[in-house]
Structure 1
Amino acid sequence: MIDQTTRLRDVVGAATATALADALSLETSGDLLAHLPRRYHERGELTDLANLAVGEVVTVQAQVVSVKRRPMRERRRSMLTVTVTDGSHNLLLTFFNQVWQERNLRQGVTALFAGKVEEYRGRRQLTNPEVHLLDAESADPGTHGGAESFASGLVPIYPSAVKLPSWKIGSCVRILLAGLTELDDPLPAAIRDKYRLVGLLDAYRLVHQPSSWAEVARGRLRLKWDEALILQVALARRRLDNEQTAATARVPRADGLLAAFDAALPFPLTAGQRAVGETIKAEIARPFPMHRLLQGEVGSGKTVVALRAMLAAVDAGGQAVLLAPTETLASQHLRSLRNLLGPLGQAGELDAAPLATRIVLVTGSLGVRSRREALGAVADGSAGLVVGTHALLEESVTFRDLALVVVDEQHRFGVEQRDALRSRSARPPHVLVMTATPIPRTVAMTVFGDLEVSTLTELPAGRSPIASFVVPATNKVWTDRMWGRVRDEVAKGHQAYVVCPRIGEDDAAADAPPDAAADAPPDAADGVLPGSLAAFSGGAPPGMIDGDTWDATAGSEDGRRPSAAVLDLLPALRDTELVGLRAAALHGRLRPDDKDEVMTKFAAGDIDVLVATTVIEVGVDVPNATVMVIADADRFGISQLHQLRGRVGRGSAPGWCLLYTEAEHGSPAWERLAAVAATADGAQLARLDLAQRREGDVLGAAQSGGRRSLRLLELLKDEELIRSARDEATALMRVDPQLSAQPALAAALAATLDESTAAYLEKG
């Protein structure tokens, strides 16, 4: 009896099974059933040939326009050239020593052609493609047609290989389906009945052998439910296990630091900040770990919420850590916490309040003495609040009683890194992760319910709107107006940022922290895209800076100009657009003391224009900064642009964000920038980012769309289905956490959750 575990050699024969395994890694019946059609052709519907990419293995349906035969130099050999069309575009087919194809490929015949797209003398072609005639009666045995006629007007097109065309895969699927009478169904009967879903075997028949588009939809809907329920069961089991994990309940005292901090705040908390604060206080008082995501727009007050949570942890007798991805951000957080707390954060100092705690900074660049003092305060518990970078993850860092971990910009840290910090406590600490704009993976995990989510939707009083515009480098009038806006804002007493993708001086990448590439555009490498930047000098022609030619190939492997660099741009701007203004550089190669000095001067108003890399992306709070120019804006991801934009408009004056780009109007890069300029809604931008880049692997470490555990499920289109699956999975786990009554579902879950994936979820 055939089932999902049957080896394919027992179904389609050894030779074909070997080809399927070698070309497509399909080894069992279950593998072949899950190898779903990529698309479907209707009889008579021709493939759009304009979109074929050189190097791609394709299966196209096209109509023969002409057939020509000519002899080759070698004796008794000839070449057949066939031109096929989709009605608008042509494709050349070249057959070497296959003159017999001429009998079937007559003018007007429609067929499927499979092969690898090549280019010869400027024309795309397929060389010796496989041929499958759709008119079964006229098929010659050599065309792989005839005996394999299709039962319907829909022709499934499978992901294929050069030696294994789509119709051969389809033939194997038909042989397999003909021998199957039933399959173990992982979807409980009650769920199938409730949502009117077909059985698993019927679903595969509908997807592989449909007679209509409606049947395709019914089959795909059922298979989407399989994906959603298995993933939701995995996450529901994780939530259940989390509730059964012993953690220290942190019940804060009512008259402690938090109460004193609230009483001293010079501004009122928003309703959202208060509500989230109460939720966090309630959750850290439970005997199992909190695992909550706090998301909110740039400037919505997440830092204040995090600080109140940290103070609650200290009031309960524990310590709290704020983990930041860069030293610049960690130092900025330290200054912010000290400014917010005042005497309440000065324990051990002369002006300390009676209830005060101590705040320490732990980074990799601390001197030996400073590091020893900081780690000693962390270890003996005298430091209630700890701010730091990846240096906190080292084995040498020990805590007296770690109660709460706050991770800022959580997408900058890998799962292993976050897990390393949680392991510093005898019992799992409570965890709060924060982000302003969820990257696609975060959106995916949020939709799947892996995190409990709190969202801040209000902006604190006094925040100003930000106007965003795309500035084309090819338009000198717009470019001049852009720099004029910078000068005008400085003349009004305000300050400006100019952001570049690179540092410069042969450094190809900017200050990309770990996992920074996760938030870059789809074709980014190490968080930075190759490309070019037109001259910022108003009088210099494109490709020139201050009259000197900019090497068009420096720093770029593809021959295009490199992206803008701080160390190149700053001196050029000082001599042109920013003459007379106080400009300074900030980037990751500066020594920590120098970075602090620059930021302190900028915050104090002693610097007019800060030319920086993305070290200013998060956490930098200078209310007097009102305008930002992002050079080569198309080199950044949507989320990163939104984060950068949030550095202006933080005071009472309106903010300006100018996205300078050489991207062509109407190109995908331009449209991405236009979308950022059109809305300040971070959630909407996150959805756009997800739509463009896909979800990543929800149950794995990959954070791009290239690797997916989802074949059919689409998070933006299937949110209602996913929520229903979460409800069903939660109910199943409550009554049968071991899935004893659902062996097929348990087996499917085990197959999905291999050892590495299970470990990833456990640490996630």
Structure 2
Amino acid sequence: MSGRPEILFPLFAEMTKLDGVGPKTAQAMVAIGLEKPRDLLFMLPYSGVDRQRRDSIRDVVAPATVTVEVEVGAHTPARKKGGPYRVTVQDSGTTFQLVFFHAQGDYLQKQLPTGQRRIVSGKIEIFDGIAQMVHPDHILRPEDAGDIPAFEPVYPLTAGLTQKTMAKAAASALDLAPALDEWIDPAQKARGGWPDWQDAVRMAHRPADVAALSATAPARTRLAYDELMAHQLTLALARAAARKTAGKPSVATGRLQSKVLKTLPFLPTGAQDRAIREISDDMAKPFRMNRLLQGDVGSGKTLVAFMALLVAVEAGGQGVMMAPTEILARQHLEGLQPLAEEAGVVLELLTGRDKGRERRAKLEALKRGDIQILVGTHAVFQKDVEFRDLRLAIIDEQHRFGVRQRLELGAKGQAVDVLVMTATPIPRSLALAQYGDMDVSVLDEKPPGRTPVKTALISTARIDEVVQHLQKAISEGRQAYWVCPLVEESEVVDMTAAEERFKRLRAILGEGVVGLVHGQMPPADKDAAMARFVAGQTKVLVATTVIEVGVNVPNASIMVIERAESFGLAQLHQLRGRVGRGSTASTCLLMYQAPLGETAERRLMILRESEDGFRISEEDLAIRGAGDVIGTAQSGLPKFRIADLERQAALMEVAQSDARALLAADPTLQSPRGRAARVLLWLMEQDKAIRLISVG
């Protein structure tokens, strides 16, 4: 099945094939993403107007839309140019006026001949005690009354389009919608009470009442499900293609793991246990692992990662852990070192700083297999880095690594298992939409021993008090972060704001006490400034958001975020997670510029009440919508026309399990339902997925 199935040809034809769509209208439609009849089928009406016939306008509470049969009375032309032209009409109970501006008298005489009956539909308003209908939406002869639907759908418009044009074009597109074989699991369809695809499209475009417009109406739910199903099928096909790549089973013996577990001050949480088990099971299988480990700030990802690395070592192989920056790589090394000593495994660091003889010695040891676990930056991608037997690659912070790098890493070993770690809790529905090709493990419990962070809101007007508070804390030997506002315009403006704040704090707190990092600094300077703070030489670090991810300074117990209202919730949560890592009670001060808008206030309040990253990310999704939570630009998040990721998360889960089940039963989509699913993929323009199906 190389090309689009013939049954769909009409839906991918020119727009001008539709009733009432000429070249000019077709041009206007492109502005709202309508390029072919198929697009119009998926552009559903967003509201509707009740145009049921009434006997009289007498009992109507104006203003309201009314459809009524009238006898046309006298015409009163406008007195002055551009003034109102009035036509008196009578329904079964009362008289009222139809009013037109800039109207041609002879045209109106033809439309509304005195003494004849007409059906008029439009908005009734009271003006100077007289009921009026200004510019009726419809004027028809009684025998054509059927042309007005009792409930008229309202479509999104753009310049150059009217409701009439859209309704006519949509009706014409509906005539092209073919009856298609069913791709939804019959049991699921029956449970939801969902109509067939063709009926669903018709019902969605011809709603009987307001209820039919809601996202939960069966026809709409079905169409939303189709979109999610097509997307999940694509991800499942990508996952299946990845799983075809044979892996090397790495079977844990537990010999090294048990040594580490014995020395821990407390038991792993249930979530850590579960994640370790899921990863070990995957690594023992004969195909490649492609798993995402999602953990909130401080949920103990390091232990899980190390246990996974030990599986590789127990099975006689090597593991590598990658971090986006040298500072984070060093931190991973420090975090893993004590665990490695307990287990008795050899752990080494490889970064861009390794040069000459030292670097050569490390590479030889790696090739011999003497180094069992390597921690590094992207320096481990270089050509001359060879492993004896690489089994597992762990990548920290997904978004810094593209799929391409994941593949390069895979090439370092024979079908290396991949584990991606992210500290950004993503709501379940988005995780499925974005990482649906991966299996997901979630750490949603905090290990004991972390001090909760006290979060307070304080207005910018009280900045002097904040600085005093800071002075006192420093004199007691504590350290603090000071995060500068996020200025939308550019990083250069961010930099100026940070530099200003740095100078002012330095003037008050003293030379050498305050450090500065921002996005415009050369990486080496940034690393040096961070290193001074980590070593405790500087006490306050003024920063733009470059410190969001992963930095660990247990002695830092204060986080000041200036203009907190300009940050997203997830970002604020990440920043707050930089403190509360030691035994000292920690505080996060959210400084805001009064007065706060409603949404901003809601965001800051949620943060003050909750430390649960998953709850926070769900709220964030509800407030900002899917695109913003992950930052659409780099997320590759699909654009859904009908499905709503915020409100239909449960539907996404059903679609995922359904898509995976269908492919498990029918990997090449050859069964009748499989073939129907191929048509769905073409209909939803998932051409990428179609290329993944092995021609079978």
Residue 453 of structure 2 aligns with an amino acid whose one-letter code is: I
Cα distance in 2 for residues equivalent to 1:215 and 1:613: 48
Cα distance in 2 for residues equivalent to 1:358 and 1:316: 16
Residue 136 of structure 1 aligns with an amino acid whose one-letter code is: I
Quote the RMSD (CA, aligned, Å).
4.4
Match runs of 1:231-242 below 5 Å? 231-242=231-242
Residue 35 of structure 1 aligns with an amino acid whose one-letter code is: M
Map of 1:388 onto structure 2: 376
Q: Does 1:671 align with 2:677?
A: no
Q: Does 1:529 align with 2:488?
A: yes
1:425 is aligned, of 401, 413, 418, to: 413
Map of 1:157 onto structure 2: 154
2:656 is aligned, of 726, 729, 754, to: 726
TM-score (normalised: structure 2):
0.77
Residue 273 of structure 1 aligns with an amino acid whose one-letter code is: Q
Bigger drift between 285-294 and 184-193 goes to: 184-193
Q: In structure 2, the residue corresponding to 1:425 is in which secondary structure? A: coil
Task: Decide whether aligned partners of structure 1 residues 311 and 249 sit closer, same or farther in structure 2, where only a CA change above 3 A counts.
Answer: same
TM-score (normalised: structure 1):
0.71
Give the drift of 1:42: 4.4
Bigger drift between 174-183 and 640-649 goes to: 174-183
Q: Is the Cα contact below 8 Å between 1:325 and 1:390 reproduced in 2?
A: yes
Offset from partner CA, 1:404-461 (integer Å, 9 cap, x none): 121212233333333332233332x112122223346983426985432222233233
Cα distance in 2 for residues equivalent to 1:266 and 1:593: 37
Cα distance in 1 for residues equivalent to 2:458 and 2:211: 46
Residue 247 of structure 1 aligns with an amino acid whose one-letter code is: G
Map of 1:606 onto structure 2: 537
Map of 1:329 onto structure 2: 328
Q: Is the Cα contact below 8 Å between 1:289 and 1:430 reproduced in 2?
A: yes
Cα distance in 1 for residues equivalent to 2:84 and 2:501: 55
Q: Is the Cα contact below 8 Å between 1:489 and 1:626 reproduced in 2?
A: no
Q: Which has the larger radius of gyration?
A: 2
Bigger drift between 665-674 and 621-630 goes to: 665-674
Cα distance in 2 for residues equivalent to 1:177 and 1:446: 29
Give the drift of 1:604: 4.3
> Identity across aligned pairs (percent)?
36
Map of 2:346 onto structure 1: 357
Q: Is the Cα contact below 8 Å between 1:410 and 1:434 reproduced in 2?
A: yes
Task: Decide whether aligned partners of structure 1 residues 79 and 134 sit closer, same or farther in structure 2, where only a CA change above 3 A counts.
Answer: closer
Match runs of 1:52-201 below 5 Å? 110=122, 133-137=136-140, 149-153=147-151, 155-178=152-175, 182-187=179-184, 189=186, 191-201=188-198
Q: Is the Cα contact below 8 Å between 2:44 and 2:204 reproduced in 1?
A: yes
Match runs of 1:232-311 below 5 Å? 232-256=232-256, 258-265=257-264, 268-311=267-310
Residue 642 of structure 1 aligns with an amino acid whose one-letter code is: H
Q: Is the Cα contact below 8 Å between 2:182 and 2:676 reproduced in 1?
A: yes
Q: In structure 2, the residue corresponding to 1:282 is in which secondary structure? A: helix
Q: Does 1:622 align with 2:622?
A: no
Map of 1:687 onto structure 2: 618
Task: Decide whether aligned partners of structure 1 residues 641 and 9 sit closer, same or farther in structure 2, where only a CA change above 3 A counts.
Answer: closer
Q: Is the Cα contact below 8 Å between 1:250 and 1:403 reproduced in 2?
A: yes
Q: In structure 1, the residue corresponding to 2:255 is in which secondary structure? A: coil
Cα distance in 2 for residues equivalent to 1:448 and 1:587: 30
Offset from partner CA, 1:360-408 (integer Å, 9 cap, x none): 2224x65566655555554554433232334444555444332112121
Cα distance in 1 for residues equivalent to 2:576 and 2:630: 32
Task: Decide whether aligned partners of structure 1 residues 208 and 341 sit closer, same or farther in structure 2, where only a CA change above 3 A counts.
Answer: same
Q: Does 1:574 align with 2:562?
A: no
Q: Does 1:341 align with 2:340?
A: yes
Residue 748 of structure 1 aligns with an amino acid whose one-letter code is: L
Q: Is the Cα contact below 8 Å between 1:437 and 1:642 reproduced in 2?
A: no
Task: Decide whether aligned partners of structure 1 residues 180 and 637 sit closer, same or farther in structure 2, where only a CA change above 3 A counts.
Answer: closer
1:746 is aligned, of 664, 678, 694, to: 678
Match runs of 1:493-642 below 5 Å? 493-500=477-484, 529-530=488-489, 565-576=497-508, 578-579=509-510, 582-587=513-518, 598-642=529-573
Give the drift of 1:591: 6.4
Q: Which runs of 5+ in 1 are unaligned?
A: 45-60, 72-77, 83-94, 113-130, 140-145, 345-354, 503-527, 532-553, 557-561
Match runs of 1:399-478 below 5 Å? 399-427=387-415, 429-439=416-426, 443-445=430-432, 449-473=436-460, 475-476=461-462
Cα distance in 1 for residues equivalent to 2:135 and 2:225: 34
1:19 is aligned, of 22, 25, 40, to: 25
Q: In structure 2, the residue corresponding to 1:292 is in which secondary structure? A: strand
Cα distance in 1 for residues equivalent to 2:645 and 2:558: 36
Q: Which runs of 5+ in 2 are unaligned?
A: 1-5, 53-63, 67-76, 86-99, 113-119, 125-133
1:484 is aligned, of 450, 461, 468, to: 468
Give the drift of 1:319: 2.3
Give the drift of 1:330: 2.2
Bigger drift between 738-747 and 393-402 goes to: 393-402
Give the drift of 1:220: 0.5
Q: Which is richer in helix?
A: 2
Q: Is the Cα contact below 8 Å between 2:681 and 2:690 reproduced in 1?
A: no
